[in-house]
Amino acid sequence: MKIIVTGGAGFIGSAVVRYLIRQTNAEVAVIDKLTYAGNLASLAEVSGSDRYHFFHQDICDGAVLEKIFNDFQPDAVMHLAAESHVDRSIDGPAAFIETNIVGTWTLLEAAKAWWQQLDSSRREAFRFHHISTDEVYGDLEGTQDLFREDTPYAPSSPYSASKAASDHLVRAWMRTYGLPIIVTNCSNNYGPYHFPEKLIPLTIINALAGRELPVYGNGQQVRDWLYVEDHARALWQVITQGQPGETWNIGGHNERQNIEVVRTLCALLEELAPNKPAGVDRYQDLIRFVDDRPGHDLRYAIDAAKIERELGWRPQETFESGMRKTVAWYLANPLWWQQIMDGSYRGERLGLGRK
């Protein structure tokens, strides 16, 4: 099976590529623009495989996509390329419109042109798998409510609105043109190679440096946490077993308040990194509550019953085991994140962290 993976140098995308190379016989072509969140170091362990190919390209360039499709001749597309940080979408939504909406449209057109000229058996087997987020649903009011595949869309941020738009485009290309698509909507991912602007890696790295640990508002926002390698395994099952036109919600069954997540990280660091920076008695003493961000969703929670029932997938990691693995990975791989923090991985300093 030959698969194009867009955004394959990003957090979830690189986990998917590593899974495909290590656990399957698939041949993989990664297309990635290498924006600030793309990092080839996340693919280093599989880059020597003869089943791995990398194209440093923008999915908004239709001519380039046409050539890649014609040269690589894929059986499937796994579309993960996206701008994904809510704070950045609030400060500068244009990039989110360009990549998440225009880029998805450009990729759909390239995939459609390729698919339409295939013979009947390959046309029937082809899949366009669009990987999206639970944030398209907005947030939940009741403590027992869950996002299901038929939950109405109600995005709250420029990021989630752009992803909702891309979901609608993908479904329209099946309804209008017949392109065999699959959509998955996942909960918050965490794990190795997570870019340090996100809550979990930022908390770990700030704590190790003795910096403040910022928590929005009162920290009671609830997220369902999914270990990224469990997610990669789910995506493989969906693209190989799922039927065109279906939507699958993928969650970790790990609902936690943000403040619980930060305190859990502090407790793990007390155990795994007891030698603290000067002036720090306890990691949790670094926690600081900061002004909430605009339009902050209160609670996300995924109902993953469909994928469990119909495809037999369940997460292998609990919140406790996944968080322990994550903290241990960051402690064992400081070079990966230090090169991001000082900007050397892309030749410039990023100035990460919230002042």
From 27, 83, 135, 229, active-site residue = 135
Sign of CA dihedral 240, 241, 244, 245: negative
68-107 burial: b if 16+ Cβ within 10 Å, else e: bbeebebbbbbbbbbbbbbebbeeebeebbebbbbbbbbb
How many CB atoms neighbour CB 212 within 10 A?
16
Classify residue 118 as exposed, middle or buried by CB count within 10 Å of its CB (0-12, 13-18, 19+): middle
Is residue 134 among the annotated active site residues?
yes
Angstrom CA distances, 342 to 30, 41, 140, 322, stand at 26, 15, 38, 27
Structure tokens at 228: 């990224």
The residues, ordered by sequence, that sit 6+ positions from 151 with a Cβ below 8 Å of its Cβ are 137
Nearest of 64, 76, 82 to residue 28 by alpha carbon: 76
Q: Which of 19, 159, 190, 227 is catalytic?
A: 159
159 is catalytic: yes
Per the residue annotation, which of 27, 32, 134, 197 is the catalytic one?
134
Structure tokens at 27: 């041949």
Catalytic residue status for 348: no
3-state SS assignment for residue 127: strand
Beta sheet of 27-32, edge-to-edge order = 52-56, 27-32, 2-6, 76-79, 127-133, 181-186, 247-250
Tell me which residue has tokens 């014609």: 70
Number of Cβ atoms within 10 Å of the Cβ of 355: 7
Q: Which residues are catalytic?
A: 134-135, 159
